[in-house]
Amino acid sequence: MRKYQVILFDVDDTLLDFQAAETQALTHAFTMQDIPVTEELIHYYHQMNRDVWKIIEKENDRREEMLVERFKRTLTYFAIKADPKTLNQAFRTQLALEHQVLGNSLAVVKQLYDEGYLLQVASNSRGVTQRKRLKAAGLFDYFDQIFVSDEVGAQKPAKKFFDTIFYANRTIPKDKLVIVGDSYTSDITGGLQNGIDTIWLSTEKLDENQPQPTYQIETLDELPGLLEHLSSSTQI
């Protein structure tokens, strides 16, 4: 008997290479506004974006405001005159077209699908964007359901986000669900706080006093082997 029936996948930096996609989309957006693209500009934006998403995870109702704010802060820092709303829209439009697959994620997803797991997406993003990217990457058809924050009305790690998933899977015992993701604050914290097992995709090591993921892998290639091992152990 398998330990899990449903595998919840984060998308960005778990299945798709968000760093590469983001850089391409940023370059496009800035270039369209005749703004010279430099490493310093991209680096500063990344810093602002991380800060903004920490706020969004706690205050989802400020999502649209804060997505524009990341560009506003970047433009202000470099004293660039441009419309942050226009930049944000150009960036998001281009991002939906970027679909760089991370490592062997397509092969891993296909293998788990062929083995009979129910695969579902759990992503803090826009549904339109993620569906386009997953389709372009050849991943979309492997997923049974897709849960995205703008449609759920809450961000991981919020209880509302996970309650939506649990209701959709209400015929399946909760201990048969596991979430796989690279973000400790949204994927792992969300899973732990809402009572399901977690698999952290990361090379980082946590302090002993921090809540630990149920399991940890360094690359997605390790996931099928881990699941097989856990299922074998369950049968003993």
Identify any residues that bridge with 200 across adjacent strands, giving them in sequence order: 181, 216
Contacts of 30-37 with CB under 8 Å at 24 or more apart are 30/87, 32/90, 33/82, 33/83, 33/86, 33/87, 33/90, 35/80, 35/82
Digits of tens for pLDDT over the chain (236 positions)? 899 999 999 999 999 999 899 999 999 999 999 999 999 999 999 999 989 988 888 887 898 999 999 999 999 999 999 999 999 999 999 998 999 999 999 999 999 999 999 999 999 998 999 999 999 999 999 999 999 999 999 999 999 999 999 999 999 999 999 999 999 999 999 999 999 999 999 999 999 899 999 999 999 999 999 999 999 876 55
Q: Which domains does the chain have, with CATH numbers?
A: 6-16+101-235 (3.40.50.1000), 18-95 (1.10.150.240)
Mean pLDDT over the full length of the chain = 95
Q: How far apart are CA 87 and CA 49, in angstroms?
A: 14
Nearest to 64 by CA among 73, 52, 54, 74: 52
Look at residue 216 in the predicted model and tell me its pLDDT: 98
Nearest to 4 by CA among 209, 197, 221: 197
Known catalytic residue at 83 = no
- Rounded to the nearest angstrom, the gap between the alpha carbon of residue 231 and the centroid of all alpha carbons in its chain is 26
H helices present in the chain, as ranges:
18-32, 39-58, 63-77, 84-95, 105-114, 127-136, 149-152, 159-168, 189-193, 223-235
Length of the chain equals 236
Token pair in block for residue 230: 């856990």
What sign does the CA torsion over 165, 168, 169, 175 have? Answer: positive
Identified catalytic residue from 10, 12, 150, 182:
10
For the segment 151-196, what is each residue's pLDDT rounded down to a tens digit?
999 999 999 999 999 999 999 999 999 999 999 999 999 999 999 9
Distance CA 24, CA 96 (A): 11
Mode of pairing for the β-strands spanning 197-201 and 177-181? parallel
CA distances from 185 to 57, 190, 193 (A): 9, 7, 11
> What angle separates helix 84-95 from helix 63-77, to the nearest 10 degrees?
110
